[in-house]
Chain A
């Protein structure tokens, strides 16, 4: 069984401030982890993914995430928020075999204030 918990349905930051979106997972097999972003009126697109190579993963638009096995976490960060980062962010986990089908978190809405 696998699951994803995203802490905070809404996160509000000022432009230029650090962005931190939290994701914790549970998986009975070594996980693959993903962050997707959904801009208003659009579908989801991949931001970055962890597939057991480097634990620090860099994605598009300056985002990165660190896989911490001991904490079962995969938090998303960006040093300096931009207005264009305002969107919905989803964390997802999948594994191998029976856990192949991905499971999504409930999403976190990032609000960026000028």
Chain B
């Protein structure tokens, strides 16, 4: 089954404790992306990757890091989480080539930073 998986689905942590949210896709997609969803603000892109070893900032990259060492994986790293990073996070992937390919989304990771 074609899918994007994220782990963990729920995470409660404390300020400053480094964490990683994993994302993996099995569709051989070149493009992967991370979003955060907050009430009233919709989806905002954090980082994206056009292919292995190619990453770029989205609209809200501050406080986040990513890496793309393998095509299927795109982890999101919060080195020193703060309460304003409490949010619902989504990973997504798609084919490249044109803008007409839809994105496939993971189930989301709900992060709470206290």
Contact = CB atoms under 8 A, between A and B. Distances in A.
B45 A43 contact: no
B48 A101 contact: yes
Given A104-B43, A106-B42, A43 B98 contact: no
Contacts, number: 54
B107 interface: yes
Interface in B70-114: 90, 92, 96, 98-100, 102-103, 105-108
Interface in B2-60: 4, 35, 40-43, 45, 48, 58
Interface SS majority for chain B: loop
Contact of B98 (A32, A105, A106): A32
Nearest to B4: A43
A49 B100 contact: yes
Contacts of A31: 99
B40 A102 contact: no
Contact of B99 (A9, A36, A42, A96): A96
Nearest to A4: B42
Contacts of B107: 42-43
Nearest to B59: A103
A100 B102 contact: no
Contacts of B96: 100
